[in-house]
Amino acid sequence: MLVVHGSWLVGVGLAVWGESSSAPARPARRPGRPPRERPHPFAADHATLTAALGPAATAATAGSTPLVLPTRGGVPLDSPELVRTAAVDPLRGAVTPARWQVPTLTYAPADALTLLRWIDALAGVPGAGLRHLAALAGFATDLVARGRVLPVVLDDERAAYPDRADPDHGVAAWHPLLTGADAGWARALTLALPPSVRADGAAGPGEVVADALDALTDAAARAALGDLRLPGTGRGDAVAGWLRALIGPRGGFRAEPAERDALRAELDAWQRDAVGSPVRASFRLAAPPPVPDLPTDADLPGGDPDSWRVEFGLQAADEPNLMVDAATVWRDPAGAAVFGDRVDDPQETLLAELGRASRLWPALDDALRTATPETLTLDIEGAHRFLREGAPVLHAAGFGVLLPTWWQRPTARLGARLTARSRTAPGTVATAGGVGLDALVDYRWELALGDQPLTADELTELARRKTPLVRLRGQWVELDPRRLAAGLRLLRSSGELTVADLLRLGLADGDAPDGLPVVEISADGALGDLLSGQAERRLTPLDPPPTFTGTLRPYQRRGLAWLAFLQSLGLGGILADDMGLGKTVQLLALLAADPPETGPTLLVCPMSLVGNWQREAARFTPKLRVHVHHGADRARGERFAEAVHDTDLMITTYSVAARDAVALAGVAWHRVVVDEAQAIKNAATRQAEAVRLLPARHRIAVTGTPVENRLADLWSIMQFANPGLLGPAATFRKKYAEPVERHGDEAAAARLRRITGPFVLRRLKTDRSIISDLPEKLEMEVLCNLTAEQAGLYRAVVDDMLAKIESADGIERRGLVLATMTKLKQVCNHPAHLLRDGSALPGRSGKLARLEEILDEVLAAGEKALLFSQYAEFGGMLRGHLSARFGREVLFLHGGVGKAERDEMVTGFQAPGGPSVFVLSLKAGGTGLTLTAANHVVHVDRWWNPAVEDQATDRAFRIGQRRRVQVRKFVCAGTVEEKVATMITEKRGLAAKVVGSGEQWLTELSTDQLRDLFVLDPGAVVE
C-alpha cells in the first residue's frame, strides 16, 4: 500500500512524498546518538512515486526534503491512512518530533494546481495533507471563478538572497480577496491544517495557508485567462510591463524601485476604495408602519408613501452579526468598541464607506449632505428602485444589505391559481374509456398576490394605481405591471383545458398563458391525487379476481391497484419494478379483472419472451384466451379479424408489430402493453413508430430500465404510455435532457421526477420494505491479468488504431472507435477470439484462467453458474473448452437458438441434476428468463451498460431464488476495461436522478481522451 502525502514549502511549492507499507517494518537501530536527519525508513523512492503519479510526475523536480515527523522509539509513526497487512511489534516510549529525510517530487504552483485537482486518480491513497491542499486548490479556483481576486505588485522574489536580488525587477501576481464568508473559510482551512502540510517546520499554519492560497490563486487566475493577449499600447513604462506580466506564466517586469513603489501605492489606494475596510457600511430598508384608520381589506396601497427609510450602520465584514447603527456611531462612538482593532475611527470609517457606496448608488448623495448621516428617506418608487437596483449593486460590492423578509419570499409576487374538476362526476370515472389525456376539465383561474386572493375589481384598481409596492391585508408585496396586465387577460380569457394541460401545469411548474407563474393547482378526486403525488399511497391494495390462480404479494397488490387506478382515468403508466419482482403476474391479474365486453389486449414483446408469457398466462389465468400472432403462417385478413374477436390476450413481437402495423392499427384495442419497453427507447425506429400508432384506451409499458443511456429513452417510452405529456422531443431535450445530462441540473431532474412520478411505478428488490425474503446479492469486480501474448496484441491494436482515428472524422471516426473497442475487448477475452485462428485456448488468457478457478469451486460445491458474454462467437468457444475441461455438459444460448430448444435448455438447467454451467450471449439470454437454479453469475466481458448487466444478473436474482447470489464482473487490469468501469457509475447516476445501451457514448471522446483510455497502463501486471 502506498500513501501519497503533500507538504507545502513556503516560497517554493508542493512537495509530494510517499509512505509505503512494503518497506521494512522496523529499521535496524544503530548504537550511539541518532543523526539530526535520517532517511525515512518507510518512504517511497522516486521511481515508486513517479509510477503512482503517472503523467503528472513529468512536471516535478526530484529531490530530497527534511520533514519533522512524530517519532517513537527511533521510528517515524505510520500515518493514519497506512494499513500494514503484516503484524508488527508495538512501538514503545514517548512520541517526540524528529527530522527525517524523504525523497520528494516538488511542483511549482501552476503544476501543483493541476495535480491537486486530480488526486483521486493517483495510484495510491491520498494522505490527509494532500486532501487538505486539494481543498485549498478548489477554494482558490472558486475564488477566481467568482472574480474574488486582486492584482498586486511584489518585490523581486529573490530578495531573500541579496547577491541574486535585482532592485529593478518586480513581480505581478494575483492574490485572493478574502471578505465575509470567504475570510471565514480561509480561517477554517488554517485551523484544520494537518501537521504534515507544514512538516518542514519552516513556517506556522497561517503563513503556510496564506502562501499556498496566494500561489494557487495566482496559478488558477492565469489558467483562467489562458492565452489572452493585451493589445499593444505603445507604452514601455512600469504599468504596461505589470499588466503584461499578469497574463501567461508567472513572471516579472522591469521597473525602477521608485516606479514600482508608486504603482504599488496607487494599487493600494484603489483596492482600499474598491474593497473597503474590515468594517463596512450596512444598509437596512425599513418599511413604513401601517395606517391605523384604513380597513384591513382596503389598505391598497396603504402607509405613507414617503416614509420608507434606508438606515445606515457599520458591520464587521467577517462577522455580519456584529453591527452598530449610525445613530450610535455619531452620538456614542464608544459603542463601536465592539469592532475591536478592526477600526480606529468609526465615524471616519462610516463617512468613507458611505462615500464609496454613493459612487455605486448616487441616490445616497442626498443623505451625505448632512454632517452626520443616519438614514435616507425614500418614496415608494425610490424604495422599489433600491430593492431592485441599489441593493444588488451594493451587495455585490461587498456592503452589508438587510432587506425585509417579505422581499425574499417568491410568494410575495403576483401568481395564478387554478381550480379544476373532471367533467365526469366523482365515482363514475372507472368506465371503459376512462377520462384520458384529451378529456376536457372544468376550470377556474384566480389571481393571488402572495397568499392573498384578488378579485378582478381589486386587480383593476391595482393596475390603475400603478404603484410598484402595495400593502395588501397587512403584508407588503411587489406589483409587476406586466404581470398585472397578464393577470387581467387571464381572468378575461376563455378556452379549453385538457387533462394533459392540467397535469403539465401541476406537475412541471408550468406557466399560465402570458407567462404568469402558476403558484397553486387544486383538483378533485383522482386527478387531485395524481397532482399531489399521493395516488399510489392512497390506493387500497387490490385482491386479484377469482379467475386468477395465484397469490399476490403485498407490493404486487398495490401495483395492481395502481394499474387499475390509471386505467380508470384512461391514463397510461410505466411499470418499472426491478427485474424479478413479478411484473408479469401483476399485468395478468389486471387482465383477469377485465369484464368480457372490454375488448382484447395486445401484448408486444421480444421473441424470447413469447413462450414465457404463454406459460405464465396458462398458469395464472387459465381462462384467458391467448393467441400468438407470429410466424410465417400467422393469421391475416379475415382470419386475423376472427382471431382478434376470439382473443382476450394477443401476443406479438416488435418485428411483427412493425411489419403488420396497418392490420394491428385497425383494431380498437382495449389495452396495449409493451414488455421490455426499452425496445422502443429510440423514438425514430420503425418499430417504435408502429407501436405508438396502435389505438388503445389504456397503455402500459413494462420495463426494468426506463432509462438506459439517455433521458430520451424515458421520453420515447412515456410518449407511448401518455402521448404528449412530456411535450415535443425538442422541447424535452432543451428543458430536461440537456440540463440534466450535460450540467447535472438537480432542479431540472426534480421537475422531471415530479411530472413522470405519478406514471412510473418502480420498486427495488434491495428494498426490504418491498420484499424481505430475497437473499443477498454480492457484486464484485474481478481484476484479471493479461498474459504476455495478450499484452503484445493489445499494444499492437492500440498503435495501429490510434493513428487511424487521429486522421479520421465524422462517421468514419466513430466507426473506428467502436472497432477499436471491439478488438481490445476481444484481446482481453482471449487471443484466439481476436485472431479467429481456431487455436487452442488453455494457458493464454488471464480471464479464462480465472474463470476456470471459479468454476472449480462452484462445481465442487454442487452449485450452478451463468456465464454471460456479449459475443456469441466467444460463447461458443467457451462452451467447447469448458465442456472438455470439466467433462460435463455445458449449455449455450444465443440468438440462433429456436424457441423450443430455448425452452428445453431452461427447463433442463432449472431441474435438479441438470447441467451446472450455462453460457449465454448477453442479448439472447439477458432478458425474460428465470434461471434461479444458478446462484453464481459471471460477466466474462462487459457490455458497459449497467442497466443491461443488471437485467442479465436478474435471471438468477429474482423471486424464487433461495441462496445468496454472487455476481463477478471480469475486468483486465490496466486496460480500457478497467478505465471504462470507473465511468459506469455516471451512467447509473443518470437513471437514479430521474426515476447507456452499447458503447456509442464513447465515440464522442477526444483523441487525447481515447489515447488515455486505450493505452495499456505501465503498471499493469502482465504474466
How far apart CA 671 and CA 65 sit, in angstroms, is 76
Mean pLDDT computed over 310-328: 88
- Parent domain of 739: 540-761
The verdict on residue 690 lying in a domain is yes
What phi and psi values does residue 30 have, to the nearest 5 degrees?
-100, 145
755 and 797, same domain (yes or no)? no
Nearest to 102 by CA among 22, 41, 51, 34: 41
pLDDT band for position 167 (cuts 50, 70, 90)? low
Same domain, 512 and 572: no
pLDDT band, residue 709 (cuts 50/70/90): low
pLDDT surpasses 80 at 525:
no
The answer to whether the peptide bond before residue 596 is cis (omega within 30 degrees of 0) is: no
Residue 303 has pLDDT above 60, yes or no: no
pLDDT band at residue 994 using 50, 70 and 90 as cut-offs: very low
pLDDT confidence tier of residue 592, bands split at 50, 70 and 90: very high
> Do both 291 and 393 map to the same domain?
yes
- The answer to whether residues 851 and 974 belong to one domain is yes
Q: Does residue 895 lie in a domain region? A: yes
Q: In the prediction, which pLDDT does 425 show?
A: 43
**Mean pLDDT in residue range 427-436:** 44
Count of helices and strands (H, E) across the chain: 39, 34
> Confidence class of residue 478 from pLDDT cuts 50, 70 and 90?
confident
Q: Please work out, in degrees rounded to the nearest 5, the angle formed at the alpha carbon of residue 911 by the alpha carbons of 908 and 914.
A: 60
Q: Considering the chain, what is the average pLDDT of its residues? A: 80
Confidence of residue 981 (pLDDT cuts 50, 70, 90): confident
Q: Is the distance from CB of 283 to CB of 310 less than 8 angstroms?
A: yes
Domain-ending residue, one of 403, 433, 466: 403
| Cell matching residue 209 | 495557508
In this prediction, residue 517 carries a pLDDT of: 72
Distance CA 306, CA 287 (A): 10
**pLDDT in the model for residue 996:** 35
What's phi and psi for 848, nearest 5 deg? -65, -40
Q: Which residues face 893 on adjacent strands? A: 920
Do 515 and 567 lie in a common domain? no
- 763/324: higher pLDDT: 324
CATH code at 855?
3.40.50.300
Q: What is the CATH number of the domain that holds 751?
A: 3.40.50.10810
Give the torsion sign (CA, 659, 661, 670, 508): positive
Over residues 588-602, mean pLDDT = 91
* Model confidence pLDDT, tens digit, residues 77-111: 888 777 665 555 566 678 888 889 999 999 999 99
Domain closes at, from 704, 726, 761: 761
Split at pLDDT 50, 70, 90, the class of 638 is very high
Whether 432 shows a pLDDT value over 60: the answer reads: no
Per-residue pLDDT reduced to its tens digit, 918-975: 999 887 776 778 888 998 999 999 876 777 788 888 888 777 777 888 888 898 878 8
Asked if 342 and 450 sit in the same domain, the reply is no
1010 located within any domain: yes
pLDDT in tens, 797-814: 888 887 787 777 767 777
Question: Three cell numbers at 107?
Answer: 511542483
Out of 225, 247, 267, a domain closes at 225
pLDDT at residue 551 is higher than 70: yes
Confidence of residue 999 (pLDDT cuts 50, 70, 90): very low
Both 355 and 382 in a single domain? yes
pLDDT of res. 547? 93
Q: Is the pLDDT of residue 292 over 50?
A: no
pLDDT at res. 813? 76
pLDDT of the residue at 527: 73
pLDDT at 159: 38
The pTM is what? 0.49
> Of the segments 101-105, 179-183, 221-225, which one has the largest average pLDDT value?
101-105
pLDDT, residue 666, reads 93
Whole-angstrom CA distances from 858 to 776, 850, 854 are: 18, 13, 6
Q: Dihedral sign for Cα 238, 239, 242, 248, please.
A: negative
Confidence tier at 23 by pLDDT (50, 70, 90): low
pLDDT over threshold 60, residue 712: yes
Residue 252 lies in a domain: no
Counting the structural domains of the chain, the total is 5
Cis amide leading into 606 (omega within 30): no
Largest CA distance in the chain: 107
Q: Which of 856, 854, 906, 897 is nearest to 875 (CA)?
A: 897
- Mean pLDDT computed over 207-212: 92
**In a domain? residue 772:** no
**Sorting pLDDT into bands at 50, 70 and 90, what band is 274?**
low
615 and 754 fall within a common domain: yes
Pair 861, 742 in one domain: no
Does residue 294 carry a pLDDT above 60? no
Answer left, alpha or beta for residue 382, where phi above 0 means left and psi between -120 and 50 means alpha.
alpha
Shared-domain flag, residues 116 and 67: yes
Cβ contact 698:722 at 8 Å: no
Tell me: the pLDDT tens digits for 666-681? Answer: 999 999 999 988 889 8
Task: Give the pLDDT of residue 160.
Answer: 36
Residues 595 and 734 in one domain: yes
Taking residues 166-181, report their average pLDDT: 77
Together in a domain, 427 and 546: no
Q: Does residue 262 lie in a domain region? A: no
